[in-house]
Chains A and B, each alone.
Chain A
Amino acid sequence: MVKNNRSLRIQKLLKQNELYLFLVIIVYSIFITSLNSSFLSLENLFDLSKSSAGMGIMAIGVFIVLLSGGIDISFTAIAISGQYIAANVLIASGVDNIFFAFFISCLVGVALGAINGLLISQFKIPTLITTLGTASVFHGALLTIVGTKAINSAQLPDCFKAFGAKDVLILTKPNGVNYGLSIFIIIFIVLAILTWLILKYTMLGRGIYAIGGDINAAERSGFNVAKIQFFIYCYVGFLAGIAGVLHISLIRYSNPTYLVGTELSVIAAVVLGGSRITGGSGTIIGTIMGVAMVTILNNSLILVGLSSYWHNFFVGLIIVISVSITSYQSKRSIGNIVFRR
């Protein structure tokens, strides 16, 4: 009986995308390390996790949207709006406080997300068309109203720089140089756990899964679909606002044309993690691994001997291959009678 149970668990594990993804990451990392031994050093891993935390936070947002059966391509426009407005407000008001920056950025994020949520939940506009339109409006409005001037390192309030340099764990290399684990990764982990808790233990979270599974069935079983959809897009805006502040603190520079155009990489990471756009399936762990895989791939292109020109190609290839695998699996398991769009 016990043995039977265990083999069932192993069978279940083998069906999960995460396991395969994890194996691919391990094998690929070993391969890269054989080319350049510094790749798997703790220092490099800390660096990678710091630079990819912002992308990871945005990926959590995209993950929830995909889970609910929608798609969002406006989150980078929201992130850059939050970041640029927050930086400008801090400079104009003279308040040099990172919490204030987070507050402004998240406020902008939630407000813009609410616009998405309103359009999607009240007017039933397809999510792709809504966010395609709002991405254009948000970014265009930012550049028209707030401005197009970049904020350079000298003008940037000190709190961003201090925050970007903050480490929670400082280690010393044999040669005496210090390196540390950035606070960014803690923020990412906290948000990932928060999202996991919402999805797993609240009625709201179960509602998100339900909408993704079948929106009509969710409505009939008593979920307030409009409210849940509104929450989803506000939450994505909130996460984008945080990612915006992390991004400015990381590069110590703010250019209102940055970030927009990186949507594809983030969506690639999420679908690589096993989320299906038809909704209802996917895990946070998968999303995190997807982000790790895309980050490692991006950072290793040059190590493998390919120029950065290959970046777009690989991102596209990742999306095509990973969505093909998940779609094909679901198509086979459901059967061929019902045609799925």
Chain B
Amino acid sequence: MLGKYSKHSKILTLFIIMISVFMVISIFLPGKFLTIRNFQSMFSQIPEFGLLAIAVMLAMLTGGIDLSIVATANLAGIVAALILTKYTFPQIGVYEELFTIILAIASALTVSLICGFLNGILVAYVGVPAILATLGTMGLFSGIAIIITKGYGIIGFPEKFLFIGSGIILLIPVPMIIFILCALVAVLILNKTTFGFSVYMLGSNPISARFSGINNESILVKTYMMSGLFAGLASIIMISRVNSIREGYGSVYLLQAILVCVLGGVDPSGGSGSIFGLIMGIITLQVLQSGFNILSFSPFFKKVIWGLILILVMVINFYSAKLSQKSIKRLKTN
């Protein structure tokens, strides 16, 4: 009963924060924030970043973390880009072109699944702490990406592929549609399947999860593979939106993805957090981001603010956890 109440109050707090940030920005930047163009640009940035945030969240739910998401996305994007640029040329037929695009996407997703699989094996079977395992694979994946590209960028993809990143169907940008579908799938998996339930159980207490018959290792490997897959999806949207890829693209997303998870109420020690909370966190961050862009803050100053917000949220969480502990005690004594 109490658990349910506190869960709702967490979502409510997030909702209030989101609305108030939105209001403050709208009031202080009249005529600049509430424009269709600004909203379109916000909508185009949310998907790739949101998918990466879901990837981090999945790992966090199990009590781990995935620092390799951006490196995974880069590697997957580079593989897709190589296929796209090698096998498409002007005289190619429509079907061949479509086939190449599908092949590129499939290989990017396969690469990202393999990256996730490696993380999962290291964390689950070898027993490496998730921070170090994914820190190591982050270096490994970005290293492979550098070796493949020699640090150069790959540019110029076929017109049809660019539709994924910049197309619009019924006034909604295609990346947004992909993101909403993926988020729905994630919600279904986490809330309606045995696997999702096991992830939460494993995250809140791995030992009791083991004793209640859950195969912790297999759940962990699957979770990190899913996390990799979301990073791969993000990479496809990313390379198609900017029509290029280079090792190091989107490296700011790592801090922001972790920030959004924490902001969205995901517990870094595992076991709690929801996609709805995460999405509210993403919207809050994006509103702030676009406000900063309108105010033309320097990227360095933005770095300061992101770091400050991350720490501030953690401090607030510390106090709210303390408060709720006190109220539980009071309920018990009454």
Contacts and interface: CB of A to CB of B under 8 A. Distances in A.
Contacts of B315: 119, 123, 125
Contact of A316 (B129, B143, B304): B143
A132 B255 contact: yes
B268 A311 contact: no
Contact of B306 (A124, A136, A148, A323): A136
Interface string A118-155: 01000111101110111111111101100010000000
A210 interface: no
Q: Which of A136, A317, A318, A328 has the most CB of B within 10 A?
A: A136
A277 B132 contact: yes
B126 A328 contact: yes
Contact of A140 (B139, B300, B310): B300
Contact of A341 (B63, B150, B318): B63
Nearest to A329: B127
Interface string B3-33: 0000000000000000000000000000000
A177 B63 CA distance: 58
A36 B132 CA distance: 34
Given A309-B150, A313-B144, A124 B318 contact: yes
Interface string B273-312: 0000000000000000000000000101111111110110
Nearest to B140: A316
Contacts of A313: 139-140, 143-144, 146-147
B146 A312 contact: yes
Interface of B, secondary structure class, is helix
A341 B300 contact: no
A173 interface: no
A138 B206 CA distance: 36
Nearest to A325: B126
A268 interface: yes
A315 B147 CA distance: 13
A144 B306 CA distance: 14
Kindly state the interface size class of chain A when it binds its partner.
Answer: 35 or more
B139 A126 contact: no
Interface in A237-285: 264, 267-268, 271, 277-278
Contacts of A319: 132, 135-136, 139-140
B137 interface: yes
A129 B310 contact: yes
A320 B137 contact: yes
B304 A144 contact: yes
A312 B318 contact: no
Contact of B302 (A128, A140, A310, A316): A140
B123 to A, nearest CB: 8
B210 interface: yes
Nearest to A267: B135
Nearest to B119: A320
Given A144-B298, A317-B140, A327-B127, A125 B304 contact: no
Given A316-B143, A339-B206, A134 B122 contact: no
Contacts of B298: 143-144
Q: Which of A130, A264, A268, A312 has the most CB of B within 10 A?
A: A312
A33 B137 CA distance: 30
Contacts of B122: 320, 323-324
Contacts of B224: none
Candidate in A119, A315, A327, A339 with the most chain B CB atoms within 10 angstroms: A339
Nearest to A320: B136
Contact of A328 (B127, B143, B207, B310): B127
A205 B152 CA distance: 47
A71 B315 CA distance: 19
Given A123-B315, A309-B151, A328-B127, A132 B139 contact: no
A324 to B, nearest CB: 5
A71 B128 CA distance: 14
B44 to A, nearest CB: 24
A263 to B, nearest CB: 9
22 contacts: A123-B318, A126-B268, A129-B314, A132-B307, A133-B255, A133-B306, A133-B314, A136-B304, A137-B307, A140-B302, A140-B303, A264-B135, A268-B139, A277-B129, A310-B147, A311-B143, A316-B136, A316-B138, A317-B143, A320-B136, A328-B126, A330-B127
Interface of B: 63-65, 122, 126-133, 135-144, 146-147, 150-151, 206-207, 210, 216, 255, 258-259, 262, 268-269, 298, 300-308, 310-311, 314-315, 318
